[in-house]
Amino acid sequence: MRLSARPIAALVAALALTAGLFITGTPAVARPDDRAAAAEASDVSVAADTYTWKNARIDGGGFVPGIVFNRSEKNLAYARTDIGGAYRWDQAGKRWTPLLDWVDWDRWGWSGVVSLASDTAEPDNVYAAVGTYTNSWDPTNGAVLRSSDRGASWKAATLPFKLGGNMPGRGMGERLAVDPNKNSVLYLGAPSGNGLWRSTDSGVTWSEVTAFPNPGNYAQDPSDTSGYGNDNQGIVWVTFDERSGSAGSTTQDIYVGVADKENTVYRSTDGGSTWSRIAGQPTGYLAHKGVLDSSTGHLYLTLSDTGGPYDGAKGRIWRYDTESGAWTDVSPVAEADTYYGFGGISVDRQKPGTLMATAYSSWWPDTQIFRSTDSGATWTQAWDYSSYPNRSNRYTLDVSSVPWLSWGANPAPPETAPKLGWMTESLEIDPFDSDRMMYGTGATVYGTEDLTSWDSGGTFTITPMVKGLEETAVNDLASPPSGAPLLSALGDIGGFRHTDLDAVPAMMFTSPNLDSTTSLDFAEASPGTVVRVGNADSAPHIGFSTDNGANWFQGSEPSGVTGGGTVAAAADGSGFVWSPEGAGVHHTTGYGTSWTASTGIPAGATVESDRKNPKKFYGFSAGAFYVSTDGGATFTAKATGLPAEGNVRFKALPGTEGDIWLAGGAPTGAYGLWRSTDSGASFTRFSGVEQADSVGFGKAASGASYQTVFVSAKIGGVRGIFRSTDAGAGWTRINDDAHQWAWTGAAITGDPRVYGRVYVSTNGRGIQVGESSDTDGPGTDPGPGTDPGTDPGEPPADADCSVAYTVTNRWSGGFQAEVKLTNTGTAAYDGWKLGWTFPGDQRIGQIWNASHQQTGAKVTVTDAGWNGKVAPGSSAAFGFTGTTTGDGTAPGAFTLGGEACAVG
């Protein structure tokens, strides 16, 4: 299977904007240099109670094209993904920490990371070049993000062009590099013919290096007119020779890789003032990476006949002697014997002349990893044939921590399960530890901590080193009332039955194995009955389960099916309606041994079932709503005037016939949230919801008469995840600016068994699980923009309070803090005003989820309007950044409306 984050052209076009990792602490909010400060963070938006967020653990699930170790600090490493952000390695926990969860809806493309650079001179500094597509699919230009606290917070320099973290050639690199001698100087290789760019002020501003002579000319598919395959892959890597400079002075010798098969390597010997093609270089190939071993003076190139990361039929490895100018072909196999390109390459900084490389596009029978201890003169392989088709491996591969990496396969030799991987464009030897190596694949990060056993004739152990890195694209989610709490439909790896949210599932859905699951459903009154549909190279495209998704059997399908589409199960499991790609809407009784075309509904319609009446199904297409009362045999058009553009998703309320919520649309037309209580005959729009993209239901709050509604929406001018416990009369944002995950429009559902728990889809950051600190919930939620009704400084006289003040981050001259105000009384606050006095010279700079006034050391913080109502036992939270010449000591006392609060 070719697992990766594939282009989401259809998704983005439709949008018209186209492990148990527990996230707490610092909101890492980007502060773009070209935006006003007021636009940097939301001034509205906190929940009446505080939510915590984590991933439903899968561990991995997508392509990791880049791993970067810092060369001056041990155990400091970063990983980049093509659509799921960047991560920092946590050595103590042996896990990855996400760094870009703050990326918001409008700049969703910034979740694609085309390159990373870690500063050798000042290890606290890290840079990320971000942007997902260089064509029209991505609405925003790329940016270079910079952080002085290892990715805890970021600032951004928006570029005058786009970057392509999920474009062809994304495994090449690194395109972004920091001068190791003068770290205020950075270079960035740009795609699309935009050339080479340089910053001389630590990434704050950028300008083109006009002296650089070649912007590249290679495109994966010049005949493609979408701007995807025919994009010029441009400048693909930058490497410094640190020996040609000294601390504080610009490095003089710089090497640059270009996507041009005849002119793929250039050099400057005067600090970037002039550039020339290096004579004698190999031609007919693209240099995916260029790595310089400063101990030997050798520059190594891994080459392929294409840009990857999927393709590549021929490749070589060449060595350039930077002193003599001699080029040597040091490929581990003869050119005639290659059927793959070379990609990942790394040198052992502890052992001069030791290097490793990967055959990134060796899909069958497996990828190959090569190792040399004599500067490429001779090589050994991770596996060899003993007697074909049998293999002799130098390694053992233990995937017990992520067992689904075997794909449940039992292939014939020479294939194995699990495989060493595919799309292995990144491989790095720890610069401080010759025994540790990590490499990225299309599904995970593998690594070893006993690598040098390879050289002594022993075997070394490879295991997943991917905990915390969650990179799945989520298409659909379901939380049944019994059985597993969560079923997921995922791109590339199908989906899982999650019986424990904090444990990696043993295996993805099989029988059939689907490349991507596009839709799934369960029978509301019989949750053991589950159906899923998806994309595959051939039939079947549908599977059924009678034990809540634990086991599956393949279904038959109508003629002409080419893709999954959407599917719905009758409330009692007696039948199904399927709207696949390539064929019209069909219905069946039983488990799909035969299908009959439905009438009265157009092909491609989205289908769902009523959650009480097993004969009733619903459909939507192009602004019209359709209803069937005979098990999907015939449909009748009902309500019209609904969104005719963009993606539209709708759900029927469990246990109630005919109660339907519909979300969707596009900024160029109708866009919002609607409800029908008459089985789709008519819909009423929620006037306060400006935009909405997905809707789901969860357990009702204590004392509430309606199930909790969750939406991914824009309400009160703020994009976020919202909750209502009063059937949409009031809404509360339950995520925050540190937890936005770019695009969250595909699916959302609450948990029918746990109040407040919500499952949120992302396009690259896996399944986000939100847990409410209020286990029972208030009867109603505060609505955005509601009138507080009383002076915010005068809470009820019997209202008590406690305050938790946490400094979440410190840096030279500044700090970041979070404040949680909890109502410990018996009556609700109807507006609040919190006061304190800072020790020393601390001053608030940016504040979110509240407003403030400060006179000297005295601070008054007022609610943001819609978070003014705080029920007993619930909390409101806000955060801010501040300046200080001291250490940011926390205030020791707080008042609410002039009355003292407990602290802690």
Please answer whether residues 23 and 738 qualify as being in contact, where contact means their C-beta atoms are separated by less than 8 angstroms.
yes
Radius of gyration of the chain (CA): 28
Contact 189, 259 (CB under 8 A): no
Answer yes or no: 830 catalytic. no
User: Which residue shows structure tokens 């067992």?
Assistant: 403
Find, among 903, 898, 902, 904, the residue nearest to 835 by Cα: 898
Catalytic position from the list 104, 119, 138, 492: 492
Amino acid at 887: D
In three-state secondary structure terms, 875 is strand
E strands, 298-377, are: 298-304, 315-321, 327-329, 345-347, 355-359, 368-372
The helix/strand/coil state of 9 is: helix
d(CA 719, CA 717): 7
What are the beta bridge partners of residue 240? Answer: 254
DSSP conformational letter for 14: H
Query: In 10 A of CB 735, how many CB atoms?
Result: 25
318 Ramachandran zone, left/alpha/beta (phi>0; psi -120 to 50): beta
* Interatomic CA distance for residues 681 and 592, integer angstroms: 29
According to DSSP, the residues that pair with 878 across neighbouring strands are 819
3-state secondary structure 508-555: CCCCCCCCEEEEEEEECCEEEEEEEEEECCCCCCEEEECCCCCCCEEC
* Pair 611, 602: CB distance under 8 Å: no
Residue 376, amino acid: G
Work out the number of other CB atoms within 10 angstroms of the CB of residue 35.
Answer: 12
Q: Which of 82, 104, 659, 751 is catalytic?
A: 82
Beta strands in 148-218 (DSSP E): 154-158, 176-178, 186-189, 196-199, 207-208
State which amino acid sits at residue 655. G
Question: What is the distance of C-alpha 608 from the center of its chain?
Answer: 28
> How far apart are alpha carbons 181 and 183 in whole angstroms?
6
Q: What angle do CA 813, 814, 815 make, to 5 degrees?
A: 150
- What is the b/e burial string over 398-427, where b = at least 16 CB atoms within 10 angstroms of the residue's CB? ebeebebbbbeeeeeeeebebbbbbbbbbb
- In 658-695, which positions are buried (b, 16+ CB within 10 angstroms) versus exposed (e)? bbbbbbbbbeeebbbbbbbbebbeebeebebbbbbbbb
- Which residues does residue 266 pair with via DSSP β-bridges, in sequence order? 256, 277
Phi, psi of 818 (to 5 degrees): -125, 140
- Is 737 annotated in the active site? no
Structure tokens at 277: 């093609």
Kindly state the DSSP code that residue 111 receives in the 8-state scheme.
G
**Order of all β-strands in the sheet with 843-848:** 843-848, 875-883, 814-823, 801-811, 902-903
Return the active site residues: 82, 492
